[in-house]
């Protein structure tokens, strides 16, 4: 099988982390064999994934992109009849690498944002509690009531966090 359907496969100079595919003269995109069309679509989807990694250092994105570019060149510019199946398998491995590397990083960023939001809610709740408590209690009972109310408020927050 002749895989030389593309004349060139190279990094797009007009857009960062994009691959430009140039068809051989006389070839149209609608004439592509199904397995080549599917691999081309999957490579384009992977470039979109790489472009949208917003919490990833540029060096890591560049490394993923270079692997994808090498894979694309191997798949579409060689005469090896096993190039398409090998490239398809390697693309799966590359996507799993991106997922395993970037998934925890993205999760940690979102967990930190969630934690800061919850911390803000707790601080505001404490401020409201103390403002209303201090203004409503007499001076004699204030000290003992403050500790009891703090204990109740903390236990209520812990119950809420545990989901009880």
**Tokens of residue 151, six digits:** 């204990």
Give me the residue spans of the domains in the chain: 6-109, 111-162
Residue 32 dihedral angles phi and psi, to the nearest 5°: -70, 140
Residue 11: its H or E element? strand 6-11
The radius of gyration computed from the CA coordinates of the chain, to the nearest angstrom, equals 29
DSSP character string of 75-133: HHH---TTHHHHHHHHHHHHHHHHHHHHHHHHHHHHHHHHHHHHHHHHHHHHHHHHHHH
Please report the pLDDT score of residue 1 as a whole number. 42
Task: Report CA 34 to chain centroid distance, whole Å.
Answer: 29
Please report the pLDDT score of residue 143 as a whole number. 55
CA angle, 6 then 70 then 5, to 5°: 10
Please report the pLDDT score of residue 66 as a whole number. 95
Please report the pLDDT score of residue 48 as a whole number. 94
Q: How many CA atoms lie within 13 Å of 83's alpha carbon, on the beta-carbon side?
A: 19
Give residue 148's region: left, alpha or beta (phi > 0; psi -120 to 50).
Answer: alpha
Please report the pLDDT score of residue 3 as a whole number. 46
User: What's the CA gap between 107 and 124, in Å, rounded?
Assistant: 26
pLDDT digit string (tens) for the chain, length 164 residues: 444 678 888 999 899 999 988 887 666 767 778 898 899 999 999 999 999 998 899 999 999 999 999 999 999 888 888 999 999 999 999 999 999 999 988 898 889 989 888 988 888 888 877 777 666 555 555 556 666 777 777 777 777 777 65
């Amino acid at each position: 099988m002749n895989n030389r359907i593309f004349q060139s496969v190279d990094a797009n100079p007009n857009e960062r982390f994009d691959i430009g595919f140039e068809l051989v003269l006389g070839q149209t995109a609608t004439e592509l064999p199904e397995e080549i069309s599917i691999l081309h679509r999957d490579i384009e989807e992977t470039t979109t994934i790489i472009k949208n990694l917003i919490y990833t250092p540029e060096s890591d994105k560049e490394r993923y992109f270079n692997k994808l570019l090498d894979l694309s060149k191997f798949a579409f510019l060689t005469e090896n009849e096993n190039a398409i199946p090998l490239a398809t398998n390697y693309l799966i491995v590359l996507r799993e690498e991106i997922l395993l590397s970037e998934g925890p990083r993205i999760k940690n960023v979102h967990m930190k944002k969630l934690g800061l939001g919850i911390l803000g809610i707790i601080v505001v709740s404490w401020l409201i509690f103390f403002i209303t408590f201090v203004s409503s209690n007499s001076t004699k009972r204030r000290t003992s009531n403050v500790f009891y109310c703090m204990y109740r408020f903390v236990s209520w927050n812990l119950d809420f966090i545990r989901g009880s």
